[in-house]
Structure 1
Amino acid sequence: MQRRAQRAEQRHQRASRLTRVLVGAAAVPVMLIAAGCSSDSGSDADAKQASESPAGASASPSPTVQAAAYAKLPEPCKVLSTKTLEELVPEAGKSGKEANSDDVSTRAGCSWDSLDNNGVDGSQFRWLNVSLLRFESDVTRGAGEQRAQEYYEKQVTDVQSAEGAKNTKAEQVTGTGDQATAVRYDLKKKEGAFKQQTIVARVENVVVTLDYNGAGLAGDETPDADDLMKAAKKAAKEAVTAVTKANETDASATPGGTNSPSKSATSSETPAKNS
Protein backbone atom coordinates (compact mmCIF):
# COMPACT_ATOMS: atom_id res chain seq x y z
CA MET A 1 0.00 0.00 0.00
CA GLN A 2 2.71 2.39 0.94
CA ARG A 3 4.74 1.55 -2.15
CA ARG A 4 1.71 2.02 -4.39
CA ALA A 5 1.08 5.41 -2.82
CA GLN A 6 4.73 6.46 -3.41
CA ARG A 7 4.54 5.36 -7.07
CA ALA A 8 1.33 7.29 -7.55
CA GLU A 9 2.92 10.36 -6.02
CA GLN A 10 5.96 10.08 -8.34
CA ARG A 11 3.67 9.75 -11.41
CA HIS A 12 1.80 12.90 -10.30
CA GLN A 13 5.02 14.90 -9.92
CA ARG A 14 6.25 13.83 -13.40
CA ALA A 15 2.95 14.88 -14.93
CA SER A 16 3.14 18.29 -13.25
CA ARG A 17 6.64 18.89 -14.57
CA LEU A 18 5.61 17.92 -18.10
CA THR A 19 2.68 20.32 -17.96
CA ARG A 20 4.94 23.23 -16.98
CA VAL A 21 7.34 22.47 -19.86
CA LEU A 22 4.54 22.39 -22.41
CA VAL A 23 3.06 25.67 -21.16
CA GLY A 24 6.47 27.39 -21.40
CA ALA A 25 7.06 26.06 -24.90
CA ALA A 26 3.67 27.29 -26.08
CA ALA A 27 4.40 30.84 -24.88
CA VAL A 28 7.41 31.25 -27.18
CA PRO A 29 5.51 31.28 -30.53
CA VAL A 30 2.99 33.74 -29.13
CA MET A 31 5.79 36.19 -28.36
CA LEU A 32 7.36 35.64 -31.78
CA ILE A 33 4.05 36.21 -33.52
CA ALA A 34 3.46 39.42 -31.58
CA ALA A 35 6.95 40.64 -32.45
CA GLY A 36 6.37 39.77 -36.08
CA CYS A 37 3.12 41.78 -36.22
CA SER A 38 4.84 44.79 -34.73
CA SER A 39 7.65 44.61 -37.30
CA ASP A 40 5.21 44.31 -40.22
CA SER A 41 3.24 47.39 -39.05
CA GLY A 42 6.43 49.48 -39.04
CA SER A 43 7.32 48.34 -42.52
CA ASP A 44 3.89 49.27 -43.85
CA ALA A 45 4.13 52.77 -42.30
CA ASP A 46 7.60 53.31 -43.78
CA ALA A 47 6.42 52.20 -47.19
CA LYS A 48 3.42 54.56 -47.03
CA GLN A 49 5.60 57.48 -45.99
CA ALA A 50 8.05 56.74 -48.80
CA SER A 51 5.24 56.71 -51.34
CA GLU A 52 3.96 60.09 -50.11
CA SER A 53 7.43 61.69 -49.98
CA PRO A 54 9.44 60.24 -52.85
CA ALA A 55 13.18 60.09 -52.40
CA GLY A 56 15.06 63.00 -53.95
CA ALA A 57 12.09 65.42 -53.85
CA SER A 58 13.36 69.03 -53.83
CA ALA A 59 12.18 71.79 -51.46
CA SER A 60 9.86 74.57 -52.68
CA PRO A 61 11.75 77.18 -54.74
CA SER A 62 12.48 80.54 -53.13
CA PRO A 63 10.28 83.43 -54.31
CA THR A 64 11.85 85.82 -56.83
CA VAL A 65 11.26 89.44 -57.81
CA GLN A 66 12.30 91.47 -60.83
CA ALA A 67 15.56 93.32 -60.27
CA ALA A 68 15.48 97.11 -60.02
CA ALA A 69 16.53 99.01 -63.14
CA TYR A 70 18.70 101.71 -61.53
CA ALA A 71 21.44 100.87 -59.08
CA LYS A 72 22.54 104.34 -57.97
CA LEU A 73 21.72 108.02 -57.71
CA PRO A 74 23.58 111.02 -59.13
CA GLU A 75 25.27 113.55 -56.87
CA PRO A 76 22.27 115.61 -55.73
CA CYS A 77 23.95 119.01 -55.90
CA LYS A 78 25.02 118.33 -59.51
CA VAL A 79 21.70 117.25 -61.01
CA LEU A 80 21.04 120.78 -62.28
CA SER A 81 23.25 122.76 -64.63
CA THR A 82 24.83 126.06 -63.70
CA LYS A 83 22.60 127.80 -66.22
CA THR A 84 19.43 126.36 -64.67
CA LEU A 85 20.53 127.31 -61.16
CA GLU A 86 21.29 130.87 -62.27
CA GLU A 87 17.78 131.09 -63.69
CA LEU A 88 15.94 129.65 -60.70
CA VAL A 89 18.10 130.84 -57.79
CA PRO A 90 20.31 133.60 -59.21
CA GLU A 91 21.87 134.64 -55.90
CA ALA A 92 22.52 131.13 -54.59
CA GLY A 93 25.98 130.70 -56.02
CA LYS A 94 27.34 127.49 -57.52
CA SER A 95 27.17 125.29 -54.44
CA GLY A 96 24.04 123.88 -52.88
CA LYS A 97 23.49 122.48 -49.42
CA GLU A 98 23.46 118.69 -49.50
CA ALA A 99 20.96 116.94 -47.24
CA ASN A 100 22.10 114.48 -44.61
CA SER A 101 21.73 110.84 -45.63
CA ASP A 102 22.91 107.55 -44.15
CA ASP A 103 23.02 106.02 -47.65
CA VAL A 104 23.48 108.34 -50.63
CA SER A 105 22.86 105.47 -53.05
CA THR A 106 19.23 105.20 -51.96
CA ARG A 107 18.31 108.72 -50.85
CA ALA A 108 19.86 112.12 -51.43
CA GLY A 109 18.92 115.77 -51.68
CA CYS A 110 20.23 119.27 -52.22
CA SER A 111 18.80 122.74 -51.68
CA TRP A 112 19.58 126.27 -52.76
CA ASP A 113 18.19 129.63 -51.64
CA SER A 114 18.47 133.06 -53.20
CA LEU A 115 17.69 136.54 -51.91
CA ASP A 116 17.90 139.31 -54.47
CA ASN A 117 17.86 142.56 -52.49
CA ASN A 118 16.41 145.52 -54.34
CA GLY A 119 16.93 148.03 -51.55
CA VAL A 120 13.90 150.14 -50.67
CA ASP A 121 11.88 148.29 -53.30
CA GLY A 122 12.13 145.08 -51.31
CA SER A 123 13.66 141.78 -52.34
CA GLN A 124 12.93 138.62 -54.25
CA PHE A 125 13.31 135.32 -52.43
CA ARG A 126 13.66 131.92 -54.12
CA TRP A 127 14.10 128.46 -52.63
CA LEU A 128 14.83 125.30 -54.59
CA ASN A 129 15.09 121.74 -53.33
CA VAL A 130 15.64 118.42 -55.11
CA SER A 131 15.04 115.10 -53.32
CA LEU A 132 15.97 111.73 -54.82
CA LEU A 133 14.70 108.41 -53.49
CA ARG A 134 15.66 105.06 -55.01
CA PHE A 135 13.84 101.83 -54.26
CA GLU A 136 15.49 98.45 -54.54
CA SER A 137 13.68 95.20 -55.26
CA ASP A 138 12.84 93.08 -52.24
CA VAL A 139 11.12 89.67 -52.17
CA THR A 140 8.96 90.70 -49.22
CA ARG A 141 8.08 94.22 -50.44
CA GLY A 142 8.00 93.84 -54.21
CA ALA A 143 9.86 95.09 -57.26
CA GLY A 144 11.69 98.40 -57.03
CA GLU A 145 9.60 99.98 -59.78
CA GLN A 146 6.36 98.96 -58.06
CA ARG A 147 7.52 100.34 -54.73
CA ALA A 148 8.59 103.59 -56.43
CA GLN A 149 5.21 103.97 -58.08
CA GLU A 150 3.42 103.46 -54.76
CA TYR A 151 5.60 106.12 -53.13
CA TYR A 152 5.10 108.46 -56.10
CA GLU A 153 1.32 108.28 -55.72
CA LYS A 154 1.55 108.86 -51.98
CA GLN A 155 3.90 111.80 -52.47
CA VAL A 156 1.53 113.49 -54.92
CA THR A 157 -1.34 113.08 -52.46
CA ASP A 158 0.73 114.49 -49.59
CA VAL A 159 1.80 117.53 -51.60
CA GLN A 160 -1.79 118.36 -52.52
CA SER A 161 -2.81 118.22 -48.87
CA ALA A 162 0.03 120.41 -47.55
CA GLU A 163 -0.85 122.32 -44.42
CA GLY A 164 -1.90 125.90 -45.05
CA ALA A 165 -2.05 125.47 -48.84
CA LYS A 166 -4.55 127.61 -50.73
CA ASN A 167 -5.73 127.48 -54.34
CA THR A 168 -4.14 124.06 -54.92
CA LYS A 169 -3.98 122.86 -58.51
CA ALA A 170 -2.47 119.66 -59.96
CA GLU A 171 -1.69 118.62 -63.52
CA GLN A 172 0.05 115.75 -65.29
CA VAL A 173 3.44 116.48 -66.84
CA THR A 174 4.64 114.72 -69.99
CA GLY A 175 8.19 114.11 -71.11
CA THR A 176 9.56 113.87 -67.58
CA GLY A 177 10.36 110.30 -66.60
CA ASP A 178 7.74 107.55 -66.68
CA GLN A 179 5.17 109.69 -64.91
CA ALA A 180 5.11 113.15 -63.35
CA THR A 181 2.66 115.46 -61.62
CA ALA A 182 2.94 119.21 -61.03
CA VAL A 183 1.26 120.74 -57.99
CA ARG A 184 1.00 124.44 -57.25
CA TYR A 185 -0.52 126.37 -54.35
CA ASP A 186 -0.33 129.62 -52.45
CA LEU A 187 1.16 129.76 -48.98
CA LYS A 188 0.85 132.69 -46.65
CA LYS A 189 3.72 133.22 -44.22
CA LYS A 190 4.66 136.08 -41.93
CA GLU A 191 7.42 137.07 -44.37
CA GLY A 192 5.04 137.34 -47.30
CA ALA A 193 2.92 135.48 -49.86
CA PHE A 194 4.74 132.47 -51.28
CA LYS A 195 4.01 130.73 -54.59
CA GLN A 196 4.84 127.03 -54.21
CA GLN A 197 5.55 124.74 -57.17
CA THR A 198 6.26 121.02 -56.69
CA ILE A 199 7.04 118.44 -59.37
CA VAL A 200 6.92 114.77 -58.39
CA ALA A 201 8.36 112.48 -61.06
CA ARG A 202 9.16 108.78 -61.28
CA VAL A 203 11.72 107.21 -63.59
CA GLU A 204 11.94 103.42 -63.22
CA ASN A 205 12.64 102.75 -59.51
CA VAL A 206 13.59 106.35 -58.60
CA VAL A 207 11.30 109.15 -57.44
CA VAL A 208 12.39 112.77 -57.89
CA THR A 209 10.65 115.53 -55.95
CA LEU A 210 11.49 119.11 -56.89
CA ASP A 211 10.20 121.98 -54.74
CA TYR A 212 10.49 125.55 -55.93
CA ASN A 213 8.92 128.59 -54.34
CA GLY A 214 9.25 132.32 -54.52
CA ALA A 215 8.02 135.43 -52.77
CA GLY A 216 8.34 139.17 -52.95
CA LEU A 217 9.48 140.43 -49.55
CA ALA A 218 9.52 143.85 -47.91
CA GLY A 219 7.06 145.30 -50.39
CA ASP A 220 8.39 143.73 -53.58
CA GLU A 221 5.93 142.18 -56.03
CA THR A 222 4.79 138.58 -55.69
CA PRO A 223 6.36 136.49 -58.49
CA ASP A 224 4.17 135.11 -61.26
CA ALA A 225 3.16 131.49 -60.50
CA ASP A 226 3.16 130.50 -64.19
CA ASP A 227 6.76 131.66 -64.59
CA LEU A 228 7.81 129.73 -61.50
CA MET A 229 6.04 126.58 -62.70
CA LYS A 230 7.65 126.77 -66.13
CA ALA A 231 11.09 126.98 -64.51
CA ALA A 232 10.28 124.16 -62.08
CA LYS A 233 9.19 121.81 -64.89
CA LYS A 234 12.42 122.49 -66.77
CA ALA A 235 14.51 121.77 -63.68
CA ALA A 236 12.58 118.57 -62.86
CA LYS A 237 13.15 117.21 -66.36
CA GLU A 238 16.84 117.96 -66.00
CA ALA A 239 17.01 116.16 -62.65
CA VAL A 240 15.30 113.07 -64.08
CA THR A 241 17.78 113.03 -66.96
CA ALA A 242 20.63 113.17 -64.44
CA VAL A 243 19.30 109.99 -62.80
CA THR A 244 19.29 108.18 -66.12
CA LYS A 245 22.79 109.37 -67.04
CA ALA A 246 24.16 108.29 -63.67
CA ASN A 247 23.26 104.71 -64.54
CA GLU A 248 24.47 104.70 -68.15
CA THR A 249 27.88 103.32 -67.18
CA ASP A 250 26.22 100.28 -65.67
CA ALA A 251 24.02 99.90 -68.74
CA SER A 252 26.99 99.81 -71.13
CA ALA A 253 28.55 97.00 -69.10
CA THR A 254 25.39 94.90 -69.28
CA PRO A 255 24.81 92.58 -72.28
CA GLY A 256 22.18 94.07 -74.57
CA GLY A 257 22.77 97.58 -73.21
CA THR A 258 20.05 97.42 -70.59
CA ASN A 259 20.32 99.15 -67.28
CA SER A 260 22.30 97.22 -64.74
CA PRO A 261 19.90 95.86 -62.11
CA SER A 262 20.61 96.47 -58.47
CA LYS A 263 20.97 93.60 -56.05
CA SER A 264 18.01 92.75 -53.85
CA ALA A 265 18.09 94.79 -50.67
CA THR A 266 15.90 97.01 -48.45
CA SER A 267 15.93 100.73 -48.77
CA SER A 268 14.65 103.42 -46.60
CA GLU A 269 11.30 104.84 -47.62
CA THR A 270 11.88 108.19 -46.02
CA PRO A 271 13.22 110.89 -48.37
CA ALA A 272 16.21 112.92 -47.36
CA LYS A 273 15.28 115.77 -45.05
CA ASN A 274 16.60 119.20 -45.77
CA SER A 275 17.81 121.29 -42.91
Structure 2
Amino acid sequence: MMLNWTSFESKIPYLRDQFAQERPFRHVAIDDILLPDAARRAEAGFATALRHKQHSAPKSHRDVLLKTGTPNLKVMTPDQVAIFTEIHSNRFVRFLEGVTGISPVFADPELRGGGLHSSWRGAYLNVHTDFNFHPTEDTHRRLNLIIYLNEEWHEEWGGALELWNADVTRCEASFLPKFNRAVLFETSEISFHGHPVPLTCPEGVTRKSLAVYYYSYWPDGIERRAKTNYVLTPEQKAALRADVLSAIAQGAKTFEEASEMAPRWQPAHVRRMFAEVARVAS
Protein backbone atom coordinates (compact mmCIF):
# COMPACT_ATOMS: atom_id res chain seq x y z
CA MET A 1 0.00 0.00 0.00
CA MET A 2 1.33 3.41 -1.02
CA LEU A 3 -1.55 5.82 -0.32
CA ASN A 4 -2.41 7.00 3.17
CA TRP A 5 -6.02 5.89 2.71
CA THR A 6 -7.07 6.16 6.35
CA SER A 7 -5.97 9.78 6.55
CA PHE A 8 -7.78 11.23 3.55
CA GLU A 9 -10.81 8.94 3.21
CA SER A 10 -11.89 9.95 6.71
CA LYS A 11 -11.91 13.60 5.63
CA ILE A 12 -14.21 13.40 2.60
CA PRO A 13 -16.93 15.72 4.03
CA TYR A 14 -14.31 18.33 4.99
CA LEU A 15 -12.47 18.05 1.68
CA ARG A 16 -15.77 18.29 -0.23
CA ASP A 17 -16.63 21.55 1.54
CA GLN A 18 -13.16 22.98 0.95
CA PHE A 19 -13.16 22.00 -2.71
CA ALA A 20 -16.56 23.59 -3.30
CA GLN A 21 -15.78 26.95 -1.73
CA GLU A 22 -12.22 27.66 -2.79
CA ARG A 23 -11.42 30.33 -5.39
CA PRO A 24 -10.51 31.29 -8.11
CA PHE A 25 -11.77 27.85 -9.17
CA ARG A 26 -12.59 24.73 -7.22
CA HIS A 27 -9.56 23.13 -5.58
CA VAL A 28 -8.27 21.56 -2.39
CA ALA A 29 -4.89 20.62 -0.90
CA ILE A 30 -4.44 17.20 0.68
CA ASP A 31 -1.33 16.89 2.82
CA ASP A 32 0.27 13.51 3.62
CA ILE A 33 -1.58 11.76 0.80
CA LEU A 34 1.08 9.03 0.62
CA LEU A 35 2.50 6.92 3.40
CA PRO A 36 5.72 8.70 4.46
CA ASP A 37 8.11 5.91 3.49
CA ALA A 38 6.35 5.45 0.15
CA ALA A 39 6.73 9.16 -0.58
CA ARG A 40 10.44 9.08 0.24
CA ARG A 41 11.06 6.05 -1.95
CA ALA A 42 9.14 7.63 -4.83
CA GLU A 43 11.19 10.81 -4.56
CA ALA A 44 14.43 8.85 -4.45
CA GLY A 45 13.43 7.04 -7.65
CA PHE A 46 13.39 10.17 -9.84
CA ALA A 47 17.10 9.91 -10.58
CA THR A 48 16.59 6.39 -11.92
CA ALA A 49 13.40 7.04 -13.86
CA LEU A 50 14.70 10.21 -15.53
CA ARG A 51 18.35 9.20 -15.97
CA HIS A 52 18.11 9.36 -19.78
CA LYS A 53 16.38 12.76 -19.82
CA GLN A 54 18.21 16.04 -20.48
CA HIS A 55 16.58 18.93 -18.65
CA SER A 56 18.59 21.44 -20.67
CA ALA A 57 17.50 20.04 -24.05
CA PRO A 58 16.02 22.74 -26.32
CA LYS A 59 12.25 23.15 -26.07
CA SER A 60 9.91 23.78 -28.97
CA HIS A 61 8.51 26.81 -27.16
CA ARG A 62 9.57 29.21 -24.42
CA ASP A 63 6.61 28.98 -22.06
CA VAL A 64 8.35 26.10 -20.25
CA LEU A 65 12.02 26.00 -19.33
CA LEU A 66 14.34 23.43 -17.73
CA LYS A 67 11.61 20.89 -17.08
CA THR A 68 11.66 17.21 -17.91
CA GLY A 69 9.58 14.15 -17.12
CA THR A 70 8.06 10.94 -18.37
CA PRO A 71 4.68 9.19 -18.55
CA ASN A 72 6.40 5.88 -19.25
CA LEU A 73 5.68 3.41 -16.46
CA LYS A 74 8.33 1.05 -17.85
CA VAL A 75 11.19 3.35 -16.79
CA MET A 76 9.74 4.18 -13.37
CA THR A 77 10.68 2.45 -10.14
CA PRO A 78 8.32 -0.18 -8.66
CA ASP A 79 7.28 2.27 -5.94
CA GLN A 80 6.35 4.96 -8.46
CA VAL A 81 4.38 2.46 -10.55
CA ALA A 82 2.56 1.30 -7.41
CA ILE A 83 1.52 4.88 -6.63
CA PHE A 84 0.09 5.40 -10.11
CA THR A 85 -1.71 2.06 -9.86
CA GLU A 86 -3.42 3.14 -6.64
CA ILE A 87 -4.38 6.62 -7.81
CA HIS A 88 -5.90 5.06 -10.94
CA SER A 89 -7.84 2.50 -8.91
CA ASN A 90 -11.62 2.39 -8.64
CA ARG A 91 -11.31 3.10 -4.92
CA PHE A 92 -9.43 6.35 -5.50
CA VAL A 93 -11.74 7.37 -8.36
CA ARG A 94 -14.71 6.93 -6.00
CA PHE A 95 -12.88 9.14 -3.50
CA LEU A 96 -12.47 11.85 -6.15
CA GLU A 97 -16.16 11.64 -7.04
CA GLY A 98 -17.04 12.05 -3.37
CA VAL A 99 -14.85 15.12 -2.95
CA THR A 100 -15.65 16.89 -6.23
CA GLY A 101 -19.25 15.88 -6.96
CA ILE A 102 -18.17 15.03 -10.52
CA SER A 103 -19.51 11.69 -11.71
CA PRO A 104 -18.49 9.59 -13.42
CA VAL A 105 -14.75 10.17 -13.18
CA PHE A 106 -12.45 8.22 -15.48
CA ALA A 107 -8.76 7.62 -14.76
CA ASP A 108 -6.15 7.81 -17.51
CA PRO A 109 -3.69 4.90 -17.23
CA GLU A 110 -1.94 6.28 -20.35
CA LEU A 111 -0.84 9.32 -18.32
CA ARG A 112 -1.31 11.68 -21.27
CA GLY A 113 0.54 14.85 -20.29
CA GLY A 114 1.16 13.46 -16.81
CA GLY A 115 3.57 11.15 -15.04
CA LEU A 116 6.79 12.27 -13.39
CA HIS A 117 7.79 15.93 -13.69
CA SER A 118 11.09 17.46 -12.59
CA SER A 119 12.17 21.11 -12.81
CA TRP A 120 15.67 22.49 -12.25
CA ARG A 121 17.12 25.79 -11.07
CA GLY A 122 15.87 28.55 -13.38
CA ALA A 123 12.85 26.52 -14.48
CA TYR A 124 9.41 28.00 -14.91
CA LEU A 125 6.03 27.00 -16.26
CA ASN A 126 3.99 29.92 -17.53
CA VAL A 127 0.39 30.31 -16.44
CA HIS A 128 -1.92 28.29 -18.67
CA THR A 129 -5.03 26.21 -19.12
CA ASP A 130 -4.56 22.65 -20.32
CA PHE A 131 -5.73 20.70 -23.34
CA ASN A 132 -9.29 19.67 -22.56
CA PHE A 133 -9.95 16.26 -24.08
CA HIS A 134 -8.42 12.81 -24.15
CA PRO A 135 -7.05 12.18 -27.64
CA THR A 136 -8.07 8.51 -27.84
CA GLU A 137 -11.07 8.26 -25.51
CA ASP A 138 -12.67 11.60 -26.52
CA THR A 139 -13.59 12.33 -22.91
CA HIS A 140 -13.54 15.72 -21.20
CA ARG A 141 -10.63 16.58 -18.91
CA ARG A 142 -12.07 17.57 -15.54
CA LEU A 143 -9.48 17.20 -12.78
CA ASN A 144 -5.75 17.64 -12.22
CA LEU A 145 -4.01 15.94 -9.31
CA ILE A 146 -0.41 16.95 -8.54
CA ILE A 147 1.58 15.27 -5.75
CA TYR A 148 4.78 17.05 -4.70
CA LEU A 149 7.81 15.05 -3.57
CA ASN A 150 10.37 17.52 -2.27
CA GLU A 151 11.48 16.55 1.23
CA GLU A 152 13.75 19.57 1.37
CA TRP A 153 12.22 22.69 -0.14
CA HIS A 154 12.57 26.28 1.07
CA GLU A 155 9.98 28.96 0.43
CA GLU A 156 12.60 31.37 -0.89
CA TRP A 157 13.31 28.97 -3.76
CA GLY A 158 9.87 29.72 -5.23
CA GLY A 159 8.08 27.06 -7.22
CA ALA A 160 4.66 27.54 -5.64
CA LEU A 161 1.74 26.38 -7.76
CA GLU A 162 -0.20 29.57 -8.51
CA LEU A 163 -3.93 29.64 -9.28
CA TRP A 164 -5.02 32.78 -11.17
CA ASN A 165 -8.36 34.45 -11.74
CA ALA A 166 -10.24 34.22 -15.03
CA ASP A 167 -8.67 37.29 -16.67
CA VAL A 168 -5.19 36.56 -15.29
CA THR A 169 -4.90 39.85 -13.45
CA ARG A 170 -4.08 38.39 -10.03
CA CYS A 171 -3.00 35.18 -8.33
CA GLU A 172 -5.69 34.19 -5.83
CA ALA A 173 -4.18 31.02 -4.32
CA SER A 174 -0.76 29.40 -4.17
CA PHE A 175 0.75 26.22 -2.76
CA LEU A 176 4.39 25.56 -2.04
CA PRO A 177 5.55 22.20 -3.45
CA LYS A 178 5.69 20.77 0.06
CA PHE A 179 6.73 17.15 0.52
CA ASN A 180 3.82 14.71 0.24
CA ARG A 181 1.28 17.44 -0.55
CA ALA A 182 -1.35 16.89 -3.22
CA VAL A 183 -3.30 19.65 -4.93
CA LEU A 184 -6.52 18.65 -6.65
CA PHE A 185 -8.26 21.18 -8.89
CA GLU A 186 -10.99 21.34 -11.46
CA THR A 187 -9.84 22.03 -15.01
CA SER A 188 -11.81 24.33 -17.29
CA GLU A 189 -11.36 27.13 -19.79
CA ILE A 190 -10.54 29.50 -16.91
CA SER A 191 -8.48 27.27 -14.58
CA PHE A 192 -5.28 29.27 -15.11
CA HIS A 193 -2.33 27.85 -13.18
CA GLY A 194 1.45 27.55 -13.30
CA HIS A 195 4.68 28.64 -11.60
CA PRO A 196 5.85 31.52 -13.83
CA VAL A 197 8.75 32.80 -11.72
CA PRO A 198 12.05 30.95 -12.34
CA LEU A 199 13.14 28.63 -9.53
CA THR A 200 16.05 29.73 -7.37
CA CYS A 201 16.79 26.36 -5.77
CA PRO A 202 20.47 25.31 -5.62
CA GLU A 203 22.06 23.56 -8.57
CA GLY A 204 21.29 19.86 -8.41
CA VAL A 205 18.06 20.33 -6.46
CA THR A 206 14.86 19.76 -8.43
CA ARG A 207 11.16 20.43 -7.95
CA LYS A 208 9.62 16.96 -8.25
CA SER A 209 5.98 16.01 -8.73
CA LEU A 210 3.64 13.29 -9.91
CA ALA A 211 0.80 14.51 -12.15
CA VAL A 212 -2.41 12.66 -13.02
CA TYR A 213 -5.44 13.87 -14.97
CA TYR A 214 -9.00 12.60 -14.78
CA TYR A 215 -11.85 12.78 -17.27
CA SER A 216 -15.63 12.57 -17.57
CA TYR A 217 -18.26 12.57 -20.31
CA TRP A 218 -18.11 15.33 -22.90
CA PRO A 219 -20.50 18.21 -22.08
CA ASP A 220 -22.51 20.30 -24.51
CA GLY A 221 -21.19 23.73 -25.45
CA ILE A 222 -17.46 23.10 -24.95
CA GLU A 223 -15.09 23.14 -27.90
CA ARG A 224 -12.25 20.65 -28.04
CA ARG A 225 -8.81 22.19 -27.54
CA ALA A 226 -5.75 20.05 -28.22
CA LYS A 227 -3.12 22.59 -27.20
CA THR A 228 -2.16 24.22 -23.93
CA ASN A 229 -3.21 27.87 -23.72
CA TYR A 230 -0.33 29.90 -22.25
CA VAL A 231 -0.81 33.47 -21.07
CA LEU A 232 1.43 36.08 -19.46
CA THR A 233 0.96 37.58 -16.01
CA PRO A 234 0.82 41.38 -15.62
CA GLU A 235 4.46 41.39 -14.46
CA GLN A 236 5.51 39.37 -17.50
CA LYS A 237 3.56 41.63 -19.84
CA ALA A 238 5.33 44.67 -18.41
CA ALA A 239 8.73 43.01 -18.91
CA LEU A 240 7.81 41.95 -22.44
CA ARG A 241 6.63 45.46 -23.31
CA ALA A 242 9.96 46.84 -22.12
CA ASP A 243 11.85 44.32 -24.23
CA VAL A 244 9.75 45.07 -27.33
CA LEU A 245 10.18 48.84 -26.90
CA SER A 246 13.92 48.31 -26.50
CA ALA A 247 14.01 46.22 -29.68
CA ILE A 248 12.11 48.91 -31.59
CA ALA A 249 14.46 51.57 -30.25
CA GLN A 250 17.35 49.48 -31.59
CA GLY A 251 15.80 49.37 -35.06
CA ALA A 252 13.40 46.38 -35.09
CA LYS A 253 10.79 47.07 -37.77
CA THR A 254 8.85 43.80 -37.59
CA PHE A 255 7.80 41.48 -34.79
CA GLU A 256 10.16 38.85 -36.24
CA GLU A 257 13.08 41.21 -35.74
CA ALA A 258 11.84 42.11 -32.27
CA SER A 259 11.49 38.42 -31.42
CA GLU A 260 15.11 37.75 -32.40
CA MET A 261 16.16 40.57 -30.08
CA ALA A 262 13.99 39.27 -27.22
CA PRO A 263 14.71 35.52 -27.33
CA ARG A 264 13.33 34.67 -23.90
CA TRP A 265 9.74 35.21 -25.08
CA GLN A 266 7.55 32.93 -27.15
CA PRO A 267 7.19 34.56 -30.61
CA ALA A 268 3.39 34.52 -30.32
CA HIS A 269 3.62 36.74 -27.21
CA VAL A 270 6.06 39.08 -28.99
CA ARG A 271 3.72 39.32 -32.01
CA ARG A 272 0.78 40.39 -29.85
CA MET A 273 2.82 42.90 -27.87
CA PHE A 274 4.45 44.31 -31.01
CA ALA A 275 1.00 44.88 -32.52
CA GLU A 276 -0.22 46.51 -29.31
CA VAL A 277 2.77 48.85 -29.12
CA ALA A 278 2.35 49.74 -32.80
CA ARG A 279 -1.34 50.60 -32.28
CA VAL A 280 -0.51 52.91 -29.38
CA ALA A 281 2.24 54.62 -31.38
CA SER A 282 0.06 55.18 -34.46
TM range (shorter): under 0.3
TM value normalised by structure 1: 0.23
TM-score by length of 2: 0.23
More helix by share: 1
Computing the radius of gyration over CA atoms, which structure comes out larger, 1 or 2?
1
